[in-house]
Structure 1
Amino acid sequence: MSTTAATPLGVLFRPQAIIATILVGEAFAVVLALSPAHSPDRLVHFGLASLAIQWVAMGTLAVLHVLRKHLARLPAARLAWVALGSFISISVLVAWGAVLLAELAVPLPEARTSFLLRWGCIALVVGLLALLTYRNYWNARQLAVRTKQLELESLRARIRPHFLFNTLNTSAALVHARPDEAERVLLDLADLFRAALRGPERVPLAKEVELTRRYLEIESFRFGPRLRVAWSLPDPLPDANVPALSLQPLAENAIRHGIEHMPGGGNIDIRLRHASGWITIEVENDMPADGNRATDGHRIGLNSARERVRALSAGRGDVETRLVNGRHLARLTIPEDVPAA
């Protein structure tokens, strides 16, 4: 989602908002045409009302769009009054133009001032209702954003201790047998967590790849030749952002539910492709002979990574898993235009 679309004014210029404005205007024109005060020729009244309402609605949006850079600096309350004033002013201007055109053909049954005052009052009431509706919509939108942020914080609280405990287990396994390597693992772990715990929600792709490399290097101390990793990356890597801790859990899942349960070890293949504005990363690993280990366990890291990717890419990205020729495949797909945190 772009920054502009996330602002109060930016939301008004999205296609969905413009279409909704047109439809609401048409519904209001139908109400006016069905009013008992009108003559039997209601179709004509509907056409005239529809034309006037769309001129007012689109004119107000056009004025706000032209002035959006200046209006963006205003507090929300003042911005609302400016928008209401623009709506009323354009409504009166359209009504005044309609009066001038009508007087060329037939005299109006009421005075010009009275007609304009009546339309101004109608515009005030409709504008206040529109502001109230939009305020409720914006508050609900902000609440949804805050809820999503809390969900992400919850996911982060789950994935990071899970990552930490699994990596500490690797260090503990080396303390007595290979203390020098255990020390190196702990130093690498410290560097790893400085990058993982203090970083933003979104990181450059190169940083996430490096984080995953460091994790696999730590695991290689415990598994030795049992762990065989093959990387297939483009050179250079795409200059794009991805959710932090999105690739690393896929590699961790490949080890915990695949390689770890194979006495002879196995292979992990990590491939990255970049095409048509999308980044695809595949982590494919060997599985135990019974083929069931890959679906055992809580898989906290994998599930949390999936939710983080979906949330931080506005639902466009995803993490999918399946079995391919007896191997477990996890595919991370994300658009390259994910904004930086």
Structure 2
Amino acid sequence: MLNQPTQVNRRLPDFRSPVQLLRVIVFTQGLALLLAFAPFSIDSSPWYRLGFISMFLQWIALISCLTFSWFTPLLSRASFWQLALLIQGILLTITVGCTIISFWYFQQLAPTLELPALLINNLLICFVVALLVIQLVIMSDEQSKSITAQSRAELIALQARIRPHFLFNTLNSTAELVHQNAAAAEQALLDLAASETISLTEELALCRRYLSLEQWRLGERLKVNWQLPEPMPELQLPALTLQPLLENAVLHGIEPAAAGGEILIKMTQTAQQLQIVITNPYPLQGSRQPHNGMALQNIQQRLAYVFAEQAQMVIKDQNQQFSVTLVLPLVWEQR
């Protein structure tokens, strides 16, 4: 059997982003300074040469960035040698075009220059710069993959830390339920044995099963008010993001109160974001149980690994009401 070729999927820099454009402009200006103050065949002021060379090189750089952004899908799937040839071909072609146009426009300023010599000189410089660009693109791809792998490993580690906590409390609740309704306890365990998922719909389904289990244990003391948008937005998030927040609401808000209380789960959707607010009553300071902030910190860290700075968590404790607000992006660049 013939071995199938490995599919390449490179992560190239976004040449349209302001940060990348600024880096290209700075690098290009540095190259212009180097060429302007180096020995040159034109007998003129280095500052005059700097102005002309800066304009010429920035022209090539910006056109190249635009071209690379157009060819990003092709470049991301190219092998090493294909990537090198494509980058060299793009930069050399743009350099030839810009050289001919510049020579045609500014020939009167330097009548002693000849087009063939100017082309050879510019193409040699472009060839060396293209080698640097190839190396930088490959290094950027390797660094991006390394950061992604590290982030995934840390996300898995955080997920593993919170899962035993969730299972321990769930099994305790199920143990109490066994004495009241064995069939319901069995069904609860089957429901909670669902496979890992990070879809919002599945996370909410897990939350409903968990709250159903707690309602068997607390009875009428636990009331739940769901305020969800229709249709439900398609959002991916780390598993066990909302469930620990509801668990905290039950353990620290509902269970200590003799009369129980209501947990409000409210979602508000905009074009770019989804806001999730979980609110529960919180007893007076003297009757509160010690609050474990591990779950909140764990969730905040996992959201940061997935959404970076686009995700927000706001915690409020006022007027005997405790609320956690999550603001999640509906569109984001995955790591």
Q: Secondary structure at the match of 1:11?
A: coil
Q: Are the aligned partners of 1:241 and 1:339 in contact in 2 as well (CA < 8 Å)?
A: no
- Tell me whether 1:269 sits opposite 2:264 in the alignment: yes
In the alignment, structure 2 segments of 5+ residues that lack a partner are: 1-8
Q: Kindly provide the CA deviation profile for residues 75-108 of structure 1, in whole angstroms up to 9, marking residues without a partner as x.
A: 2442133112321332233234434445455432
> Could you tell me which amino acid in structure 2 is paired with residue 56 of structure 1?
I
Which one of the candidate residues 298, 307, 331 is aligned to 1:304?
A: 298
2:49 maps to 45
| Contact kept in structure 2, 1:273 and 1:281, CA below 8 Å | yes
8 A Cα contact 1:88 1:124, kept in partner: yes
1:20–1:267 distance in 2 versus 1, CA, 3 Å: same
Paired with 2:123 and 2:13, the residues of 1 have a C-alpha distance of 27
Shift of 1:39: 4.8
Q: 1:7 to 1:325 in 2, by over 3 A?
A: farther
Shift of 1:49: 0.6
Are the structure 2 counterparts of residues 102 and 269 from structure 1 closer, same or farther at C-alpha, using a change threshold of 3 Å?
A: closer
Shift of 1:157: 1.0
* SS of equivalent residue, structure 1 residue 257: helix
Number of the residue aligned with 2:329: 335
Structure 1 residues 190 and 126: CA distance shift in structure 2, 3 A:
same
String of CA shifts for 1:110-136, please: whole Å, max 9, x gaps.
x54343222222112222122223332
Name the amino acid aligned to 1:184. A
The question of whether the paired residues in 1 share the 8 Å contact of 2:277 and 2:324 is answered with yes
**Distance change (3 Å), C-alpha of 1:86 and 1:287:** same
SS in 1 for 2:317: strand
- Matched with 1:153 is 156
Q: Secondary structure at the match of 1:231?
A: strand
- Structure 1 residues 277 and 149: alpha-carbon distance in aligned structure 2, compared to 1, 3 A threshold: same
The 5 Å alignment of 1:85-124 reads 85-108=89-112, 112-124=115-127
Whether the 8 Å contact between 1:287 and 1:294 is mirrored in structure 2 is no
1:124-179 Cα shifts (integer Å, max 9, x gaps)? 2222122223332332222111111111111111122221111001112233x41x
Say whether 1:25 aligns with 2:28. Answer: yes
Question: What amino acid maps onto 2:224 in structure 1?
Answer: V
Which residue number in structure 1 is paired with residue 38 of structure 2? 35
Letter in 1 for 2:187: L
- The reply on whether 1:323 has 2:321 as its aligned counterpart is no
| Residue number in structure 2 paired with 1:198 | 196
Tell me which amino acid in the other structure corresponds to 1:245.
Answer: L
- Letter of the 1:79 counterpart: L
* Aligned residue number for residue 60 of structure 1: 64
Q: TM-score, normalised by structure 2?
A: 0.85
Counterpart-to-counterpart distance in 2, 1:74 and 1:292: 64
Q: Does 1:225 align with 2:223?
A: no
Percentage of identical aligned residues = 29
Gaps of 5+ in 1: 1-5
> What does residue range 234-249 of structure 1 map to in structure 2 within 5 Å?
234-249=229-244
Structure 1: which amino acid aligns with 2:153? Answer: L
The one-letter code of the counterpart of 2:295 is G
Letter in 2 for 1:270: I
Q: Deviations over 1:199-251 (max 9, x none)?
A: 2xx30x33322221111011111122222222222344334444432221210
Q: Distance in 2 between matches of 1:273 and 1:105?
A: 64
Whether the aligned pair in 2 keeps the contact of 1:258 and 1:294 (CA below 8 Å) is no
Alignment of 1:214 onto 2:217 = no
Separation of aligned partners in 2, 1:127 and 1:275: 44
Paired residue type of 1:334:
L
State how far apart, in whole Å, the 2-side matches of 1:67 and 1:208 are.
Answer: 38
In structure 2, give the amino acid aligned to 1:198.
E
Q: Retained in 2: the 8 A contact 1:212–1:251? A: yes
The AA in structure 2 aligned to 1:212 is C
Partner of 1:3: none
Match of 1:290 in 2: 285
Distance 1:339 1:23, change over 3 A: closer
Partners in 2 of 1:22 and 1:61 — Cα distance? 10
1:66 to 1:226, Cα distance in 2 relative to 1, 3 A: closer
CA distance in 2, matches of 1:294, 1:319: 22
- The residue type equivalent to 1:12 in the other structure is F
| Distance (Å, rounded) in 2 between the aligned partners of 1:150 and 1:340 | 15
